Structure 1
Amino acid sequence: MEIIGVNIKKLRTEGKISLRELAKKLNVSASFLSQVETGKATPSISTLKALADSLQTSVGALLGESDVENNNPVLKGAMNKAGKRTAEGMTVSLLTSPDPTKQMEPLLFELEKNATSGRSQYKHFGQEFVLVLKGALEITLNETRYMLQRGDSIYFNSSTPHIFKNVFNGETQALWVVTPPTF
């Protein structure tokens, strides 16, 4: 995850934003942000998205993915694709070729037992669709908890505060489709 830190620091310094200023904007400590920049800590998905928004870039750019448009609509072996990104006991794989013109983004989330999206609910612009492929997932929208088992799906506005957690006694896999794209 060192590439994330390198990219964050590069964008932060290019934008002439101090470590403390960015940390305050993200509601995290400057020491935590420093650890992220040096590869000693991994941000949650929600913090990563907030970082991308604050630095006016995409999560994919922070992860080091190319924004070069790929004219081939097929991504061979998408579910076995190397270069998966891991944060807080979860691996997120982009299931399409990078394309800055796409309107939605399908992702495969693989969550270890008890993995969560973060400590607090998060909201952002857009919509999300989730289909549980394996295991069980608890998604909280505002104060309402939804238990999803294999084969269950949910669709919600991302502007609704939300958080999710693997509540299965093992790995949970979910297909996540997000619009607009964030990675």
Structure 2
Amino acid sequence: MAPATGSVGVDSLSDVGSRLRRLRKQQGMSARALADALGISPSAVSQIERGVLNPSVSRLIAITDALGVPLAAVFDARDDVVAEVAATASGFALQRAEHASNVVLDSGVTFRRLSPGRTPGVDYFESTYPPGSTAHADDDLFRHDGYEVGTMISGELTIDFDEERVILRPGDAISFPCSRPHRIHNTGGEPAVAQWLIVHAER
């Protein structure tokens, strides 16, 4: 008999917001302190945590950087963490397709974690950018922690650096320090899918 298969789930805004609130509290940081670190109002932090406001890719990364947690932590529901601990005790981590989930951000950008469990110092995920979508709501460039390696799977992504523009097509790969100002967006006419590895310094 063939094994049962399931579909990839999509996390709601309230799921993402509640996880960010839980992570903030675990780090002992107040909403006001997080707002100050991000340069936004405490009200905006509250709206994100309540699922009223959908963060952009750059905002989500800025939040996890400010909290000192990996991006992968945003994908973890409480049950996921328990399952991961059990798997680790067995010497490996396993994520079935039906337990995978997507995080949908501002402008419809979707993140899907590819690593089956937490991998210290590394975020490994797949992004899907709909046509016209961007990682950063503003026109200016942004930077964050880590070193980024990306491989284009399908579609076309444009990365703007301070003095250069790079267009990625299927099979292309790129690496750069995340401290270099950049902006990722889809200027093509079809969804753009890429896989990313972000390596962080030990936290």
TM-score by length of 1: 0.81
With 106-115 and 14-23 compared, the bigger mean Cα shift is at 14-23
Residue 32 (structure 1) aligned to one of 19, 44, 69? 44
Distance 1:11 1:93 in 2: 19
Residue 135 (structure 1) aligned to one of 123, 134, 155? 155
With 134-143 and 11-20 compared, the bigger mean Cα shift is at 11-20
Question: Which amino acid in structure 2 is aligned with residue 25 of structure 1?
Answer: A
Q: What is the percent sequence identity of the aligned residues? A: 26
1:160 aligns with 2:157: no
Higher helix share: 2
The answer on whether the counterparts of 1:136 and 1:147 sit within 8 Å (CA) in structure 2 is yes
With 60-69 and 91-100 compared, the bigger mean Cα shift is at 60-69
Residue aligning to 1:98: 117
With 153-162 and 80-89 compared, the bigger mean Cα shift is at 80-89
Distance 1:16 1:177 in 2: 28
Distance 1:62 1:5 in 2: 9
The answer on whether the counterparts of 2:75 and 2:113 sit within 8 Å (CA) in structure 1 is no
The answer on whether the counterparts of 1:129 and 1:176 sit within 8 Å (CA) in structure 2 is yes
The unaligned stretches of length 5 or more in structure 2 are: 1-12
Distance 1:143 1:81 in 2: 42
With 143-152 and 49-58 compared, the bigger mean Cα shift is at 49-58
Structure with bigger gyration radius: 2
Aligned-CA RMSD value? 2.6
The answer on whether the counterparts of 1:142 and 1:161 sit within 8 Å (CA) in structure 2 is yes
Distance 2:158 2:101 in 1: 27
TM-score by length of 2: 0.74
